[in-house]
Copies of this chain bind each other. A is one copy, B any other.
């Protein structure tokens, strides 16, 4: 992991994914790391945290994810928005996206896919369900280790509304609720 990262309790993971931020998904296959931008993901279970996601079979990451059954979901704050779009606009088939875009891969603890040093959270994941891969490119992942960068306080995330238009987290609302 990055030297600045601290372990995040797995029971806290859903709070980062449930709001629906754009994330990066990293894979590593045959010694080669790759990264893609992703917005089609959701929580499936609180703990152990399960996340479903769609990784198109047209994406270069698809084969690595299906083969290795490992990935990292890295969550960027708004300062990385330009890099997130740059990640989405090139293919790992042609370039080393980490060096092209200017992101730093760092080793995780439990999976071969790298963490992204610049992101405020990184989730090491293993694929646990593949029945809907053929029909929908839908993977279910279990988060097996989670990291948080304590230097990034109250990060604002970005939410994709299509064609490079994003909503950035604004005002925070707190309403008394019985729901987790």
The chain A residues found within 8 Å of chain B, CB to CB, are 14-15, 18-21, 37, 39-45, 50, 52-54, 78, 81-82, 85, 88-89, 129, 131-132, 135-136, 138, 140, 156-180
Whether B50 lies near A178 (C-beta < 8 A) is: no
The answer to whether A18 and B162 touch (CB under 8 A), given A42-B52, A167-B172, A170-B169, is yes
Whether B131 lies near A136 (C-beta < 8 A) is: no
Known: A19-B20, A52-B138. 12 other contacts (CB 8 A): A15-B161, A18-B161, A40-B44, A44-B54, A129-B135, A131-B131, A131-B132, A163-B177, A164-B174, A168-B172, A169-B169, A169-B170
Q: Of B44, B85, B176, which is within 8 A of A164 by CB?
A: B176
Q: What chain B residues lie within 8 Å of A176 (beta carbons)?
A: 85, 164
Whether A85 lies near B177 (C-beta < 8 A) is: yes
Given the complex of chains A and B, what is the CA–CA distance between A170 and B126 in angstroms? 33
Nearest-CB residue, chain B, relative to A38: B42
Whether B42 lies near A18 (C-beta < 8 A) is: no
Q: What chain B residues lie within 8 Å of A136 (beta carbons)?
A: 44-45, 50, 52, 129, 140
Whether B88 lies near A179 (C-beta < 8 A) is: yes
Which one of A41, A140, A164, A175 has the highest number of Cβ atoms from chain B below 10 Å of its Cβ?
A175
